[in-house]
């Protein structure tokens, strides 16, 4: 009888579709669509280890976004992501995207949502991996644009599991998008908000108290605010931490300085995700390997984060997928 423990079932809660398209797929879609790539595809879609700013990191998503402007491309990218989750030991994954960024060839918000949902459905059928779809409002866009995204999410409640707010916290406050999140809450749609990545604890307080976030995307800058950490623990607000990405964007200076380990030790709900699998050239296996090297994590810490992620998931598909495996 083998003495090796079975791999832990994994749950990924923070994964951007446009940052997780396979480089080979980007190249193939570009060829099919007549999009000229002026450099090798890897140079265009994989960010360096230290971008220093979120803006510099996001520039590596421009090329994938350029080729994700048809329903067929979105469906393929979503399906392949589910396949990649299977290879990474993921039994349930949530993917997020901003449908309002996919209109260049005439797609509507509804078209884009249906296309991604179809890809996820194909992936689920082929792999048994559970999936959830989140729609992103963007901080730099108008309240009306965010409201349109929220309305789309509610209109497709059977396909969409939650609402997100992404973008530059330092330039654009969250409160201007309050109406969109109030609509989501009224419809029973759970919400997450990118906060505490580029800005400090005040951004996280705004996400929680103004937008009613059930989870926080990243949240690495909560360490200096004791009251905030207490609130996260008391209310069970899970942090969607992405160590490799957090270093690349300059949110933390190094993996050794990443706050996931001390926060977990304090009892703060911590989950681990990839953020952008292609942009960061990472997997959950890579993230946990890095935490084992730098924070001396063991299967115990990984199990705690996976249990937290399973409980914080916006749908219950993960449980049925785990049973299927």
Instruction: Point out the residues that are catalytic.
Output: 197
- Contact of 84 with 20, CB cutoff 8 Å: yes
Q: Are strands 238-241 and 191-195 parallel, antiparallel or unpaired?
A: unpaired
Question: What whole-number distance in Å separates Cα of residue 206 and Cα of residue 208?
Answer: 5
Cα–Cα distance measured from residue 261 to residue 249, given in angstroms and rounded to the nearest whole number: 19
Q: Give strand ranges (E) for 108-250.
A: 130-138, 162-166, 191-195, 215-218, 238-241
As separate numbers, helices (DSSP H) first and strands (DSSP E) second, the chain gives 15, 8
Do residues 189 and 162 touch, judged by C-beta distance below 8 A? Answer: yes
Work out the angle between the directed axes of helices 178-186 and 143-155 (0-180°, nearest 10). Answer: 20
Please give the Cα distance from 50 to 128 (Å, whole number).
Answer: 36
User: DSSP labels for 214-252?
Assistant: SEEEE-GGGTT-HHHHHHHHHHT-EEEE-HHHHHHTTSS
> Starting at the edge strand that comes first in sequence, how are the strands of the sheet with 238-241 ordered?
10-12, 90-97, 130-138, 162-166, 191-195, 215-218, 238-241, 270-272
Sequence-separated (6 or more) residues with CB below 8 Å from residue 116: 17, 74, 75, 77, 78, 95, 97, 99, 133
Q: Which helix (H) or strand (E) holds 11?
A: strand 10-12
């Amino acid at each position: 009888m083998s003495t090796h423990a079975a791999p832990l079932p994994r749950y990924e809660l923070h994964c951007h579709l446009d940052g997780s398209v396979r480089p080979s797929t980007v190249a193939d879609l570009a060829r099919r669509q007549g999009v000229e790539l002026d450099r090798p595809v890897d140079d265009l879609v994989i960010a360096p280890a230290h971008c220093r700013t979120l803006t510099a990191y996001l520039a590596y998503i421009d090329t994938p976004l350029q080729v994700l402007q048809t329903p067929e491309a979105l469906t393929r990218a979503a399906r392949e992501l589910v396949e990649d989750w299977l290879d990474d030991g993921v039994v349930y994954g949530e993917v997020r995207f901003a449908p309002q960024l996919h209109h260049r060839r005439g797609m509507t918000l509804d078209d884009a949502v249906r296309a991604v949902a179809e890809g996820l459905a194909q992936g689920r059928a082929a792999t048994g991996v559970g999936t959830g779809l989140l729609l992103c409002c963007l901080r730099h866009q108008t309240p009306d644009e965010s409201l349109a995204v929220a309305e789309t999410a509610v209109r497709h409640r059977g396909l969409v599991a939650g609402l997100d707010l992404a973008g530059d916290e330092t330039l654009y406050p969250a409160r201007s998008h309050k109406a969109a999140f109030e609509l989501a809450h009224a419809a029973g749609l759970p919400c997450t908000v990118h906060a505490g990545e580029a800005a400090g604890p005040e951004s996280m307080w705004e996400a929680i108290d103004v937008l009613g976030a059930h989870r926080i995307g990243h949240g690495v800058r909560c360490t200096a605010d004791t009251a905030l950490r207490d609130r996260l623990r008391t209310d069970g607000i899970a942090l969607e931490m992405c160590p490799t990405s957090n270093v690349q964007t300059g949110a933390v200076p190094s993996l050794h300085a990443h706050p996931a380990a001390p926060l977990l030790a304090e009892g703060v709900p911590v989950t681990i995700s990839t953020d952008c699998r292609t942009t960061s050239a990472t997997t959950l296996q890579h993230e946990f390997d890095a935490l084992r090297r730098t924070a001396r994590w063991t299967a115990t810490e990984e199990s705690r984060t996976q249990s937290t992620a399973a409980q914080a998931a916006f749908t219950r598909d993960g449980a049925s997928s785990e049973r299927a495996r």
